Amino acid sequence: MAVNRSFEILDVTLRDGSHAMRHSFTEKQVAETARGLDKAGVSYFEVSHGDGLGGSSLQYGFSKVNELKLIEAASSICSHAKVSVLLIPGIGIKDDLQDAVKAGAKMVRVATHVTEADVAAQHISLGRELGLKTVGFLMMAHMAPTAKIVEQAKLFESYGAEIIYVTDSAGYMLPHDVTERIKALKENVSCEIGFHGHNNLSMAMANTIAAVEAGATYIDGSLRALGAGSGNTQTEVMVGVFERLGYSTGINLYDILDVANDVVAPFMQRPQEITGSSLILGYSGVYSSFLLHTQSAAKKFKVDERDILVELGKMKAIGGQEDLIFDVAQRLALNV
């Protein structure tokens, strides 16, 4: 017998998947995916450039279609599901969030490096003022000890965040790492707790189960695992697995399978799988969205992309430091 529903599955196909799609989503693709997610019973799904509002740029990659048009295409078609957006302070600004709300956004996830929650105060405050479900998103959570994560989570809570996420941006964590962090947050903050995983070490599903069992009430997934690196925890698989575990997800398994297989699979540029390079992302603790940039740099400078990723891991590179990828590749090419 299924237990009462105790968590929300938030789908990130149309945001994290933007990385794998080289930010080329069309309004039709977004609308059809949104329609399927809405029909299946998903409560929230995210639509943004892969690097969040304002991410369309030379450094992060230009979007094929303005993200406000994509947000509007998604929100206008839903009768139940609500659109979330990602905002990384310094990439996106407050005006971007206000524009996203006009386009139909109902949730904002304000993302910072795991030790830099203090840069998000004004953005979280604005999210609450705009009536959004407001989330603090601690990226690269493997890079800080649990005590530091608790400290940063308390900052998010003091700014007004309603949910705080442990984000395994590199797909580096193992289940015991997730359990420790989620439990610590549950014991030290009053917010709801979320978990966002990547599958670079094939741990995304196991880590997501660990998060729920430790008390997470929001968990992320993407259809067909479409996302940066080797992708995220696979949404349709989560629905099946958690129902097997006795949870009621509130999502129709057949309907979520249909949108994954009939809508998302046909527009994917490549299957999501664990390649040698994406495995090195997880092994070295490198930001998952670095993968395609690294492949481009490796090709340009004729060096092994795995060597670039290992060096980036040693440097503890974080999101926003994509310029380091080409610096490392050039140094490797010159044997410096």
Secondary structure string (H, E, C) spanning 250-271:
CCCHHHHHHHHHHHHHHHCCCC
Residue 135 neighbours by CB distance under 10 Å: 27
Q: What is the mean pLDDT of residues 251-268?
A: 98
Q: How far apart are CA 326 and CA 194, in angstroms?
A: 33
Q: What is the pLDDT of residue 94?
A: 95
Environment class of residue 319 by beta-carbon count within 10 Å: exposed (0-12), middle (13-18) or buried (19+)? buried
Mean pLDDT score across all residues of the chain: 94
Q: What is the pLDDT of residue 5?
A: 53
Asked if the model's pLDDT at residue 1 lies above 60, the reply is no
Give the DSSP H/E element, type plus range, for residue 187.
helix 175-188
The DSSP code sequence of 21-73 is TTT---HHHHHHHHHHHHHHT-SEEE-S-TT-TT--BTTTB--SS-HHHHHHH
Q: What is the pLDDT of residue 2?
A: 46
Contact 34, 73 (CB under 8 A): yes
| Residue 287 marked ligand-binding | yes
| Residue 123 marked ligand-binding | no
Q: What is the pLDDT of residue 287?
A: 81
Q: Which of 19, 49, 123, 142 is catalytic?
A: 19
Q: Position of tokens 């450094």?
A: 59
pLDDT tens track for 214-240: 999 999 999 999 999 999 999 999 999
Percent of the chain at pLDDT exceeding 70: 98
Q: Which domains does the chain have, with CATH numbers?
A: 8-266 (3.20.20.70), 289-333 (1.10.8.60)
Q: How far apart are CA 117 and CA 112, in angstroms?
A: 6
| Residue 142 marked ligand-binding | no
Length of the chain: 336
Asked if the model's pLDDT at residue 150 lies above 60, the reply is yes
Asked if the model's pLDDT at residue 284 lies above 50, the reply is yes
Asked if the model's pLDDT at residue 319 lies above 80, the reply is no
Q: For residue 59, name the pLDDT band (cuts at 50, 70, 90).
A: confident
pLDDT tens track for 155-194: 999 999 999 999 999 999 999 999 999 999 999 999 999 9
Residue 116 neighbours by CB distance under 10 Å: 16
Q: How far apart are CA 162 and CA 104, in angstroms?
A: 20
Residue 59 phi, psi (nearest 5): -70, -40
| Residue 15 marked ligand-binding | yes
11-20, 60-69, 235-244, 305-314, range with the lowest pLDDT = 305-314
Q: What is the mean pLDDT of residues 278-305?
A: 89
Pairing of strands 8-11, 133-139: unpaired
Asked if the model's pLDDT at residue 199 lies above 90, the reply is yes
Q: What is the pLDDT of residue 227?
A: 97
Q: What is the pLDDT of residue 274?
A: 94
27-31, 139-143, 205-209, 282-286, range with the lowest pLDDT = 282-286
Q: How far apart are CA 269 and CA 258, in angstroms?
A: 19
Radius of gyration of the chain (CA): 18
Q: For residue 3, name the pLDDT band (cuts at 50, 70, 90).
A: very low
Q: How far apart are CA 216 and CA 181, in angstroms?
A: 10
Q: Is residue 19 annotated as a catalytic residue, yes or no?
A: yes
Asked if the model's pLDDT at residue 256 lies above 90, the reply is yes
Question: Which has more confidence, 5 or 75?
Answer: 75
5-9, 111-115, 136-140, range with the lowest pLDDT = 5-9
